[in-house]
Amino acid sequence: MIRVMFVCLGNMCRSPMAEAILRHRINERDLAMETACCGTANYHIGDPPDPRTIEVLKKNNITINHKGQQLKSKDFEDYDYLIVMDDSNLKNALQVAPKEYQSKLYKMRDFDSLARGSNVNDPWYGDYSDFEICFKTLERSIDLFLGKIDSDLK
């Protein structure tokens, strides 16, 4: 079974949204995958996602059930892919990652056909439209990530 963890800063917007989208795709396709998400910071441990995250997901018929958690070094043992949202998350995750597992780290937009390798902008300080843009970016990147997984398994 493939295990994927999404990582952002506070675990309130981008990583919970990405996990919910991937879980939705897993259910649609009946895939054998497990998902989780976390933040590199400890700001929101135990908190639900930002209400705008929940609202955008609901608008797209995707459910979410999440409480904030923080990235731990053990996560690198437990997950096959740890997908960060931006360069800052990558830098912070590398500080937590045991050396032998650093190759499991990817940026979400490494899988994006429109802006490969760029950052997923944090919508936290924006308005609802920033959350919608984030959703579209994540949805596109996750679909391409699943394409990579499919081709790797063949």
User: Catalytic site residue 13?
Assistant: no
- Give the active site residue among 50, 75, 112, 122: 122
Report d(CA 5, CA 125) in Å as an integer.
24
Which of 13, 14, 52, 86 is an active site residue? Answer: 14
Alpha helical stretches, state H, 47-86 = 51-59, 74-78
Burial of 65 (0-12, 13-18, 19+ CB in 10 A): exposed
Is 122 a catalytic site residue? yes
- Quick one: how many helices (H) and strands (E) in the chain? 5, 4
Structure tokens at 96: 């937590």
Active site residue 8: yes
State the DSSP string of 118-148.
Answer: ------TTS-HHHHHHHHHHHHHHHHHHHHH
Active site residues: 8, 14, 122
